[in-house]
């Protein structure tokens, strides 16, 4: 039972009292529902102009009812009078969709001529927010996406030279600033959801402020200091000013939008910024707490979701959980308990719904969405591809009575999930913390902040009044931190330093950070880049470092890829790096109805399917085997091809190889994540273009077809060793294992314990590694990731020879 205490937020709405219920009794307490008949709206691939105008007219009534509408004139006037405008607006006020539109409609800021200062850029921390908000604004403007309104996210750019409002992820604007530090295309930059304090958002503040100063923004004497400084950075800033004057660029206006009242950090960064506060959500949300602490938040979320479904009024449910693993566990539990409630007739009907939706091209394999007992269960997390994420935003079929969305904090900001009336907040999120002194990264589940709790609550008040069930006590809420720790204080900064150097920042230590990172983290980052050959002692980028900066991957992976030319395995290394960039390639299901570990269980079938890909040498060769098998045995047509070209390629592929399976069927048969494999394919394509282009085309001029072949894998393994030499470890001998008091050689036999060569940390091979069960364990390995959870693990493990380390990095290793 989860008894809740009530707290009013705004106007109080009626709340039904919950009856006593526990997970074991849920399946007995089900109630019969009416027989479900599904009906689906017919999808219209293209909307006519009249339909768009009709939709625009419908949305205009909603727009005028938003809290931000009352401030339209004040927003335009304030930004006209000031270079920086700070907008504090709570969730549901309409700031993300309306303010950029107001600025565009005013015709005060965009010159709409030439190629400079013609667009407004709105940044979002996440790609799903950039895409969904852009589509909504395009509807409100009565235009197709990519014309007047568009978005730019990784692998998907819908903009044109004439696009006036561009929604972009922080990372995309940062990449753009590397080639255009003046941000000359934009007249206004809107930094949305700045309270989240993501790493890239924080760096953007510094990048944008540099462009502002170059385009005439007065930092109250700070630039005069730079003029007399005599440093390289001062010289670069003077050159940026000269270039801005040459292009006749107008002053760059900046809007900082935050949902929290703690604005001092932003005010101190942008001196003299104007501030506007906009009232919160349109609809009231009631907050309720548990009376007692909950030990198992997954079980508590399950119980609460079932209570809402059985007893509460109509409305969809959004459940916040820390990560993908917890989401998939709860999705499985929900399906099982809802299935137990159904009659045979309802079960058959639900199966019909699933088949109908599958026929519409929707993936309902239980991982992305499923319909059980009239309830549509959707999942939403960052690792999902865009098309899978969009499923959570689509209207539920007419035969469904409720939608339950299980999401990470990806759903906290900017996105509007229609129909959400109930929010279940577990109070947790998953965070990575980097120790600048040891170089270790930990992945832990931690409490959210009060600001995050407020954001989650607001999801229930976007389109109607709602209720937020917090699965923790009011005392626990009071003990939460006010704001989350900025990401820049808890991550590895090597990629940040490399990016800043690539943008022309000579000394990253003196860069204008919104919150300066620790010196330990910056020192560790520069040491890593120096060891990789990216930096000279003078802090200048080497030729190798300039190449690394062009690659949109982690510096270690960039270094690894650049080594491939020397070892003549560029084609293989492109694949390996792309596969590493896509998480969870192998689908490893738990028990699903059959006895876990039995011959009929999914976990056993998956292990058998994966066996044919496994390489004795470790994880990177195994990933290479997966991709090669997919290329040989599957038919995949990228979406960037036209529909006619797709059909032709499919016909040709089927004619050439009758034994081939289509992409989805191949992945299902081999227990490989179809979504992750497509992402790897896209990443590989992007990296191939950058590596294959000439230097004049801002590429690296590499031969991307250079291959060592499948039979000569030693060259590939030597390249892996050369790229990951800083992340190497040696096996601890048998005698030391026994001496530690283990009483047996089990640890040695099941993968052994290792000691890292840099840092001397004792580590274990992660259970998901192909080397985990190898007996005997390899003597020397390199790895891609060091992770601290309950133990210290290494992942992405590949066997190498000890003597290779001496050959590839004699300055670090010497012969014993």
User: What CA–CA distance (Å, rounded) separates 763 from 793?
Assistant: 5
Neighbours of 301 (CB within 10 A): 26
Predicted pLDDT of residue 138: 94
Backbone φ and ψ of 784, nearest 5°: -100, -20
Q: For the segment 469-517, what is each residue's pLDDT rounded down to a tens digit?
A: 999 999 999 999 988 888 888 888 998 899 888 888 888 888 889 889 9
Predicted pLDDT of residue 381: 85
Distances (CA, A) of 604 to 325, 595, 616, 750: 19, 10, 20, 19
- Give CA angle at 193 (550, 237), nearest 5°: 45
Does residue 212 surpass a pLDDT of 90? yes
- Beta bridge partners, 157, equal 152
User: What CA–CA distance (Å, rounded) separates 500 from 506?
Assistant: 8
Domain 66-278 in the same topology as domain 4-8+283-485: yes
Predicted pLDDT of residue 330: 93
User: What CA–CA distance (Å, rounded) separates 86 from 258?
Assistant: 8
Pairing of strands 375-380, 420-425: unpaired
Does residue 259 surpass a pLDDT of 80? no
Q: What is the largest CA-CA distance in the chain?
A: 82
For range 4-18, the mean pLDDT: 42
Per the model's pLDDT, the better-predicted residue between 814 and 152 turns out to be 152
**How remote is the C-alpha of 339 from its chain's centroid?**
32
User: What CA–CA distance (Å, rounded) separates 502 from 480?
Assistant: 39
Which residues have a Cβ under 8 Å from the Cβ of 20 and sit 6 or more positions away? 1
- If phi over 0 gives left and psi between -120 and 50 gives alpha, with beta otherwise, what is residue 2? beta
User: What CA–CA distance (Å, rounded) separates 146 from 720?
Assistant: 41
For range 722-742, the mean pLDDT: 73
Buried-exposed string 21-53: b where 16+ CB fall within 10 A, e elsewhere = beeeebeeebeeeeebebeeeeeeeeeeeeebe
First-to-last alpha carbon distance for the chain, in angstroms, is 64
Neighbours of 158 (CB within 10 A): 20
Which of 182, 199, 125, 190 lies closest to 515, judged by CA? 199
User: What are 431's two structure tokens?
Assistant: 């965070």
- Beta bridge partners, 423, equal 318, 468
Whether 761 and 792 have beta carbons less than 8 Å apart is answered as yes
User: What CA–CA distance (Å, rounded) separates 691 from 701?
Assistant: 6
Q: Which option is the CATH number for 4-8+283-485: 1.20.120.850, 3.90.1170.30, 3.40.50.300, 3.90.1150.50?
A: 3.40.50.300
Q: How confident is the model at residue 166 (pLDDT cuts 50, 70, 90)?
A: very high
User: What are 589's two structure tokens?
Assistant: 């299901």
Whether 276 and 93 have beta carbons less than 8 Å apart is answered as no
Which of 73, 209, 99 lies closest to 165, judged by CA? 99
Domain boundaries, the chain: 4-8+283-485, 66-278, 551-697, 724-808
Which residues have a Cβ under 8 Å from the Cβ of 583 and sit 6 or more positions away? 383, 676
Q: Give the single-character DSSP code of 638.
A: -
User: What CA–CA distance (Å, rounded) separates 706 from 554?
Assistant: 23
For range 276-294, the mean pLDDT: 86
- Give CA angle at 33 (31, 39), nearest 5°: 150
- Look-up: residue for tokens 């509807």? 139
Predicted pLDDT of residue 103: 94
Of 113-122, 200-209, 308-317, 644-653, the least confident: 644-653
Whether 408 and 456 have beta carbons less than 8 Å apart is answered as no
Neighbours of 16 (CB within 10 A): 11
Predicted pLDDT of residue 208: 94
Which of 483, 497, 488 lies closest to 517, judged by CA? 488
- Look-up: residue for tokens 């399946």? 27
User: What CA–CA distance (Å, rounded) separates 373 from 259?
Assistant: 38
Which residues have a Cβ under 8 Å from the Cβ of 631 and sit 6 or more positions away? none
Sign, CA dihedral 371-376-380-384, equals positive
Does residue 744 surpass a pLDDT of 50? no
Which of 358, 356, 361, 335 lies closest to 399, judged by CA? 356
User: What CA–CA distance (Å, rounded) separates 797 from 766?
Assistant: 9
Does residue 793 surpass a pLDDT of 60? yes
Q: How confident is the model at residue 357 (pLDDT cuts 50, 70, 90)?
A: very low
Q: For the segment 369-407, what is each residue's pLDDT rounded down to a tens digit?
A: 678 878 899 988 877 766 677 778 888 887 788 999 999
Q: For the segment 687-729, what is each residue's pLDDT rounded down to a tens digit?
A: 999 999 998 888 999 999 999 988 778 999 999 999 999 999 9
Q: Which option is the CATH number for 66-278: 3.10.20.600, 3.40.50.300, 3.30.565.10, 3.20.20.70?
A: 3.40.50.300
- Cis before 684 (ω within 30): no
* 3-state DSSP assignment of residue 597: coil
Does residue 359 surpass a pLDDT of 90? no
Kindly write down the DSSP assignment for every residue of 731-798, as one continuous string.
Answer: EPPHHHHHHTT-SSSHHHHTT-EEEETTT--EEEE-TTSTTTT-SSPPSEEE-SEEEESSSEEEES-E
Does residue 255 surpass a pLDDT of 90? yes
- Helix intervals (H) in 378-481: 386-390, 450-458, 474-478
Buried-exposed string 794-803: b where 16+ CB fall within 10 A, e elsewhere = bbbbbbbeee
Distances (CA, A) of 793 to 157, 291, 786: 37, 38, 6
- Give CA angle at 225 (220, 227), nearest 5°: 115
Whole-structure pTM value: 0.76
Sign, CA dihedral 171-528-197-218, equals negative
Does residue 645 surpass a pLDDT of 80? no
Sign, CA dihedral 609-612-616-617, equals negative
């Amino acid at each position: 039972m989860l008894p809740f205490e009530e707290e009013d937020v705004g106007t109080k709405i009626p709340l039904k009292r919950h009856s006593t219920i526990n997970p074991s009794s849920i399946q007995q307490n089900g109630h019969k529902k009416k027989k479900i008949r599904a009906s689906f709206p017919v999808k219209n691939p293209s909307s006519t102009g009249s339909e768009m105008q009709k939709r625009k007219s419908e949305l205009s009534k909603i727009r005028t009812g938003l809290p931000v509408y009352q401030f339209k004139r004040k927003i335009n006037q304030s930004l006209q009078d000031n270079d920086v405008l700070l907008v504090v607006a709570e969730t549901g006020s309409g700031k993300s969709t309306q303010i950029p539109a107001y600025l565009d409609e005013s015709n005060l800021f965009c010159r709409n001529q030439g190629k400079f200062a013609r667009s407004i850029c709105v940044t979002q921390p996440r790609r799903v927010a950039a895409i969904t908000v852009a589509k909504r604004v395009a509807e409100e403007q009565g235009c197709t996406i990519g014309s007047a309104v568009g978005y730019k996210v990784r692998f998907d750019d819908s903009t044109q030279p004439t696009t006036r409002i561009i929604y972009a992820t922080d990372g995309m604007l940062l990449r753009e600033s590397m080639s255009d530090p003046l941000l000359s295309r934009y007249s206004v930059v809107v930094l949305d959801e700045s309270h989240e304090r993501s790493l890239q958002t924080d760096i953007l503040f510094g990048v944008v402020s540099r462009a502002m100063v170059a385009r005439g923004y007065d930092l109250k004497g700070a630039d005069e200091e730079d003029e007399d400084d005599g440093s390289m950075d001062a010289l670069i800033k003077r050159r940026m000013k000269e270039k801005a004057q040459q292009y006749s660029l107008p002053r760059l206006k900046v809007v900082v939008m935050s949902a929290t009242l703690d604005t001092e950090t932003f005010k101190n960064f942008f001196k003299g910024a104007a501030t506007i506060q906009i009232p919160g959500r349109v609809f009231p949300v009631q907050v309720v707490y548990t009376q007692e602490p909950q030990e198992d938040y997954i079980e508590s979320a399950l119980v609460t979701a079932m209570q809402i479904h059985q007893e509460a009024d109509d409305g969809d449910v959004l459940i916040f959980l820390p990560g993908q693993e917890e989401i998939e566990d709860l999705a499985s539990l929900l399906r099982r308990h809802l299935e137990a409630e159904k009659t045979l007739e309802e079960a058959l009907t639900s199966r019909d719904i699933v088949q109908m939706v599958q026929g519409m091209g929707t993936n309902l394999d239980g991982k992305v969405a499923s319909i059980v007992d009239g309830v549509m269960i959707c999942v939403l997390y960052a690792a999902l591809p865009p098309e899978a994420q969009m499923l959570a935003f689509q209207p539920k079929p007419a035969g469904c009575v409720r939608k339950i969305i299980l999401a990470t904090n990806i759903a906290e900001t900017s996105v509007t999930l229609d129909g959400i009336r109930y929010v279940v907040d577990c109070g947790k999120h998953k965070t990575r913390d980097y120790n600048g002194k040891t170089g270790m990264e930990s992945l832990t589940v931690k409490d959210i902040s009060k600001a995050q709790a407020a954001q989650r609550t607001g999801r229930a008040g976007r389109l109607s009044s709602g209720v937020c069930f917090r699965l923790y006590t009011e005392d626990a809420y009071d003990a939460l931190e006010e704001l989350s720790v900025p990401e820049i204080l808890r991550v590895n900064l090597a990629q940040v330093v490399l990016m800043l150097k690539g943008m022309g920042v000579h000394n990253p230590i003196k860069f204008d950070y919104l919150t300066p990172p620790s010196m330990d983290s910056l020192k560790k980052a520069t040491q890593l880049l120096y060891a990789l050959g990216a930096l000279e002692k003078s802090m200048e980028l080497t030729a190798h470092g300039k190449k690394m900066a062009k690659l949109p991957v982690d510096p270690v992976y960039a270094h690894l890829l650049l080594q491939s030319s020397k070892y003549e395995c560029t084609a293989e290394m492109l694949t390996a790096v792309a596969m590493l960039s896509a998480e969870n390639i192998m689908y490893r299901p738990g028990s699903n109805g059959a006895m876990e570990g039995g011959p009929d269980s999914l976990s056993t079938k998956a292990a058998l399917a994966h066996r044919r890909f496994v390489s004795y040498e470790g994880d990177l060769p195994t990933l290479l085997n997966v991709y090669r098998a997919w290329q040989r045995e599957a038919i995949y047509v990228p979406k960037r091809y036209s529909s006619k070209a797709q059909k032709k390629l499919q016909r040709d592929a089927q004619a050439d190889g009758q034994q081939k399976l289509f992409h989805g069927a191949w992945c299902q048969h081999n227990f490989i994540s179809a979504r992750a494999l497509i992402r790897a394919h896209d990443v590989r394509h992007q990296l191939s273009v950058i590596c294959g282009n000439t230097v004049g085309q801002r590429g690296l001029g590499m031969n991307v077809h250079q291959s060592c072949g499948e039979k000569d894998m030693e060259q590939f393994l030597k390249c892996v060793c050369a790229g990951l030499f800083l992340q190497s470890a040696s096996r601890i001998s048998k005698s030391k294992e026994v001496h530690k008091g283990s009483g047996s050689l089990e640890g040695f036999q099941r993968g052994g314990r290792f000691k890292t060569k840099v840092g001397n940390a004792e580590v274990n091979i992660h259970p998901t590694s192909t080397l985990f069960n190898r007996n005997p364990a390899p003597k020397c390995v390199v790895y891609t990731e060091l992770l601290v959870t309950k133990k210290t693990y290494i992942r992405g493990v590949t066997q190498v020879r000890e003597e290779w380390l001496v050959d590839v990095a004699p300055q670090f290793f010497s012969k014993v």
